Structure 1
Amino acid sequence: MLKLITLLIASTMTVMAGATISPALPQMQEFFNNEPNSEFWVKLLLTLPGLFTGLGAPFAGAIIDRFGRKPLLMAAIFLYGIAGGTGCVLSSLTGLLIGRAFLGLAVAAIMTTCVTLIADYYQGPQRNQIMGTQAAFMGYGGVAFLLLGGFLAGLSWRGPFFIYLSAFIILPLVIFSITEPEKTAGHTSNLAEDSDTELPIKTLVPIYLLTFLTMVVFYMIPVQIPFYLRNFQVSSAQVGMAIAASTLASATMSLFYKTIKARLSFQMILVCLYPLIGLGYISVSFANSYAFAVLGLIVAGLGLGLMLPNMNVWLNAIAPVAARGRLLGGLTTSMFLGQFFSPIIIQPIAQQIKLGPTFALVGGVMLALAATIAAVSFVNRPARTA
């Protein structure tokens, strides 16, 4: 039990990496106001870890497949605390960006290792449940970190950076509770989906692409919402509460993943979750009050709560044990590159048509994507085995 709790706690560190400083973005922009193009660079502080997580994840996957899980996890958590805490003392945008880059590399190793260890330790329906629990735990952790980050941002823009120092509390848990799983050459997972005889590449590509796209959309919440909510004259704490409300809805929905997966295929879960995101974002775009905007974020959060466990379980269903770390590293890459590219893709659109219409446009894309997946699944229904 301590082993599972440790993995769940360590998993929350991946959420903490980015969104924790989100409520402090407006204050950081004011602090660095004299820097050229400060709004872009400050937003990049939030998402830069995603780039280096995406670049580092394949290497992390290869390392754990070759040398084992625990050593890399311990080193990554130590690096996480050092790199994440740079914002406590540095007053240079360049220095902060470098610290965030190393933070991203640490997250790559933590995320890939935690998911791989869960896949190693648990099989079949129990794995489905644990994956959902992991996503929920990350979500609930995110709520706590966002609320705390919002409170600390009200004191100083440096405040949220102190949260990263909690890595030094988590490290002893990893050292004493995590054991290196035994390698069993003939082991296969017991999921029903393992009967699929198609080459994994045919499923891997859609999984990776959809994960990337969804993360681009998802990260509009921590990156753009703090600026969008300025229209309603709210405090940093209220910004944190709004983002936390969406995260709370996401975490709660994740707890129901095992039940939903028992009734629906992976594709049909996507058909259900994308309309929730789409309708939520459209509601945000038409919000005429802070409360209505929060309601839209909650609806979107319900859809996002199914995404991560669905992609993790789907990938584990097709991943050979010997390549599990590398394939999950690829999923981590897709996830965090999507986070990094979110402001790069969304910001030019928002500058042209403003943030409100941008949320409506993205919401419409999510509805169209759901319809497309439903149509493709219907056409390929006789061949579907998931």
Structure 2
Amino acid sequence: MKPYARRTPPPPAATAALAVTAPGRPALTVLLLASTLGVMGGMTIAPVIEVIRQSLHLSGAQAGLVLTTHSLAIALTSPLAGRLTDRLGPRLPLAAGLVLYGAGGGAGMLTDTYPALLATRLLLGVGAAAVFTCSTAALLALYRGSDRDRVMGWRTTATTAGGFAYPLAAGALGTWSWQAPFALYLIGLPLGLAALLALPPAAPAPADGPRPAKARGGALRLLRDHPKLAGMCGLWVAIAVLMMVLGLFLPRRLDELGITNTLAVALYGVVLSSATASLAGLLYARLRARLGYAALMRISAACWTAAMLVFATAAHPAALILVPALTGLGSGIAMPTLTVLMDHAAPPGRRATAASLQATALFGGQFTSPLLFGPLVDATSLTTGALAATAGTALILLGLLKLGNPPEDGAGSRPTAPVNGSGG
């Protein structure tokens, strides 16, 4: 990837518009709470998926669709959410997405048939697309420089904390019935109201200055016109496909090594990786103060490569502890870093669309991973599949050697846009 070009200083009108809509603590709290919902879609019901399969008499593939259908909906509808956010600002689309997230997810409490359950998962995915896209765009628009590094690290911590808190709560609720864990999704309803009250409205166009440029074309045109952004979306897809290999096959590797206790499997598969990713998020601002974005991405890829190599070759359960630890560290660093890099690669006025492409790449990759690696592992072996994933992360590391750093915020690096993301 070529080094980033230096951008022109922000026009005074845009800077003033952002200053008017400077966020307070309630807005940040709502955005961080919304960020915890990003990984909640499938992981929340993962502890009861076997109970659902048996209760509704599903095949293994049908049960898998209960976990992944929402990811497909997110991948398909995120660009629409991004375009709406670029036009309207994040406040209204985020509030609507949170309400749909809560209603669609919570409807699982009232369903007892497979088609109805899949329909609720699709609604959940549409809401989740807006939540992911709008919360990302709002955080990127409202914070700059070191403040942005800090809140993006906090966002990673919030996301990963939700990744183990919600499944633990779902496991407890699942002792009552398989429908009970779906009640956790209802948190989206009060958060939707809170978003309306706490987030600043979209900044109006300045009366005595240049009007914000309207977003032109859809997501495909944005990718065509900005190859660097397309390359980063491809990187997100590759990361999602490869990291999902651990989620799919780490329990099988543990079973091969004699670890069958479900609590131990949860410790390996969720708790350790989420804990290290959360720690990385808390320390992210300090890391950014010492290292550039390119160096941080290389560290992440090195962690993933080491984790995959251990996963492929470990002959003892103790060694496998390194897998979730290294994976969580790499993901905790990469999530905020790549989010900011994509924002720098996007043109002014297209921030939310760029964020939506991140969601499409991330969740589309997760949906694709079992389709690619499942047949490979079935036809060969788990070790072969893990070594193939190791080769993939190693190629990512080699590719990142060409990644350059964007100009730092606050140094004439990028036009500062109003909170609606439409100004430049």
Q: What's the TM-score, normalizing by structure 1?
A: 0.85
> What corresponds to 2:373 in structure 1?
346
SS of the equivalent of 2:260 reads: coil
Aligned residue identity for 1:293: L
Shift of 1:209: 0.4
Assess, with a 3 A threshold, how the Cα gap between structure 1 residues 175 and 128 changes in structure 2: closer, same or farther.
Answer: same
Name the CA shift for 1:174/1:270 in 2 (closer, same or farther; >3 Å). Answer: same
* Change in 2 beyond 3 A, CA 1:91/1:73: same
Structure 1 unaligned spans of 5+? 189-198
Q: Does 1:314 align with 2:338?
A: no
**Counterparts of 1:200 and 1:206 in 2: how far apart (Å)?**
12
Using the aligned pairs only, state the percent identity: 24
> Which amino acid is the alignment partner of residue 45 of structure 2?
I
Distance between the aligned counterparts of 1:358 and 1:319, measured in 2? Answer: 35
Could you say which residue in structure 2 is the equivalent of 1:206?
231
Superposition deviation, residue 373 in structure 1 = 2.5
Deviation at 1:293, TM superposition (A): 3.0
Q: Which residue identity lines up with residue 213 of structure 1 in the other structure?
A: A
The alpha carbon displacement at 1:314 in A equals 0.8
Q: What's the C-alpha RMSD, in Å, of the aligned pairs?
A: 2.7
* 1:23 corresponds to 2:50: no
Q: Which residue number in structure 1 is paired with residue 304 of structure 2?
A: 277
* Match runs of 1:298-337 below 5 Å: 298-337=325-364
- Matching of residue 241 in structure 1 with residue 267 in structure 2: yes
Q: Which amino acid aligns with 2:232?
A: I
Structure holding more helix per residue: 1
Stretch moving more, 306-315 or 23-32: 23-32
Q: Does structure 2 conserve the Cα–Cα contact (< 8 Å) formed by 1:151 and 1:236? A: no
**1:103 and 2:124 aligned:** yes
Task: Pick the aligned partner of 1:13 from 10, 27, 37.
Answer: 37
Distance 2:179 2:340 in 1: 37
- Of residues 22, 27, 34 in structure 2, which corresponds to 1:3? 27
Deviation of 1:291 after TM superposition, in Å, equals 4.7
> Aligned partners of 1:107, 1:201: CA distance in 2, in Å?
26
Question: Is the contact between residue 147 and residue 241 of structure 1 (CA under 8 Å) also seen in structure 2?
Answer: no
Q: Cα 1:288–1:44, aligned 2, differ >3 Å: closer, same or farther? A: farther
User: How far apart, in 1, do the equivalents of 2:106 and 2:252 lie?
Assistant: 25
Q: Which amino acid in structure 1 is aligned with residue 67 of structure 2?
A: L
Higher RCO, Cα 8 Å, sep 6+: 2
Moved more, 336-345 or 162-171: 162-171
Q: Quote the Cα distance in structure 2 between the aligned partners of 1:238 and 1:86.
A: 31
Contact conserved, 1:22 with 1:223, CA < 8 A, in 2? no
Does residue 218 of structure 1 match 2:243? yes
Asked if residue 82 in structure 1 is aligned to residue 82 in structure 2, the reply is no
Q: How much has 1:53 moved relative to structure 2?
A: 0.7
Distance 1:361 1:8 in 2: 35
Question: Aligned in 2, Cα 1:4/1:130: closer, same or farther, shift over 3 Å?
Answer: same
TM superposition shift of 1:338: 1.2
Please report how far the alpha carbon of residue 43 of structure 1 lies from its aligned counterpart in structure 2 after TM superposition. Answer: 1.8
TM-aligned CA deviation for residue 226 of structure 1: 4.4
> 2:322 & 2:211 partners in 1: Cα distance?
45
Q: How many corresponding residue pairs? A: 368
2:382 to 335, 351, 355: 355
Q: Distance in 1 between matches of 2:350 and 2:366?
A: 25
Within 5 A, what are the aligned runs for 1:53-132? 53-132=74-153
1:161 aligned to which of 179, 182, 188: 182
Matches of 1:26 and 1:229, distance apart in 2: 18
Distance of 2:168 and 2:317 partners within structure 1: 17
Closer, same or farther: CA 226–97 of 1 in aligned 2, 3 Å: farther
